[in-house]
Amino acid sequence: MTLKVPSLADLSSLEDDLSYSLYRESCYDLEGIIYRKVKEWVTKDPTLAPSLLRLQYHDCVVRGCDASILLDHEGSEKTSNMSKSLRGFEVIDDIKAEIEKKCPKTVSCADILTTVARDATVLAGGPYWMIPYGRKDGRVSLAKEASIVPKGSESVTNLIEFFQSKGLNVLDLVILSGAHTIGKTTCESVQHRLYDYKGTKKPDPSLDPKYLNYLRRKCRWASENVNLDGETPNTFDTQYYHNLKKNMGLLSTDQMLYSDSRTKPIADGLSFQSSLFKNQFGVAMVKLSSILDVVSQDEGEIRTDCKYVNH
């Protein structure tokens, strides 16, 4: 099977509203300010890198990339059950405060979050990609809308349909799932695979037995955390795809990518091609960060504090 691999040139249609040179004059050294701050935080706590990448994903799949996940009020996306394990908000606040000093009322929180996710990926050993700017900050954030974010127990068909509804394809699904090469998840999201798979009172038969024993020891409590990549959890590499071949995908949505004929050939191909994975990860992230909701953008603003809409 030959993969039809899109290039950054194919994405130009998405970016009609976004520009690579937007802040060149209005906020010189924006990317330098952000990178230095992210590096400072991630050096102190390397586990923040995957968390910041995840924050961007949760933002973009709900109302587009409009920083609605950052709004902190009763009933906002941030208060949803789906968002309870999100972290890294203080990094964004720190960066925003610094940027407001240098370029007040100029750079949106949505553009900051997008850049932070890229820099966190780079600092974890992942690829660099160019970011087009011009996202507006949304004024609406509703907890109930955050429930659409996949939880890790969906079918591959559900995932493909969800991604398609956001303008992303099967290749993007398999590539972006590869972000699980770093980071952790809560044991709560895997316990059904360990003890009571689909109501059988038995573990998921597709789990490697040794890995199952390891996870049962590691996940005695639902509140514990466990590495998404059990082999090289702190390295941005293709090990995630190798794990799937060994039945060591942590979430059922990870492992199912290797049992579905629409996704398996892609996962297989990526496991052998580190440079292809890293290159395509950048392409997929540009697509993800270019999901724009018409209402959020038309009625959007540039927040002066990422936690609150402007008054």
62 is in an annotated binding site: yes
- At residue 41, the pLDDT reads 98
Is 288 in contact with 121 (CB distance < 8 Å)?
A: no
**Does the annotation flag 66 for ligand binding?**
yes
Residue 226 has pLDDT above 80, yes or no: yes
| Claim to verify: residue 197 and residue 263 sit in the same structural domain | yes
Annotation marks residue 58 as catalytic: yes
Residue 133 lies in a domain: yes
Query: Do the annotations mark residue 150 as ligand-binding?
Result: yes
* pTM of the complete model: 0.94
In a domain, 8, yes or no: no
Active-site position among 58, 192, 242, 311: 58
d(Cα 140, Cα 309) in Å, to the nearest integer? 9
Number of domains forming the structure of the chain: 2
- Mean pLDDT for 129-137 is 97
Q: What percentage of the chain reaches a pLDDT higher than 90? A: 90
Domain that holds residue 73: 29-149+289-299
User: Does residue 175 sit in the same domain as residue 276?
Assistant: yes
Is 305 annotated to bind ligand? no
- E strands, the chain, are 184-186, 225-227
User: In whole angstroms, what is the distance from residue 239 CA to residue 196 CA?
Assistant: 27
**Is residue 309 domain-resident?**
no
Residue 248 has pLDDT above 60, yes or no: yes
Q: Is 68 assigned to a binding site?
A: yes
Check which CATH number belongs to the domain holding 225 and give it.
1.10.420.10
Same domain, 277 and 294: no
Q: What integer is the mean pLDDT of 9-15? A: 50
| Rounded distance between C-alpha atoms, residue 60 and residue 79, angstroms | 17
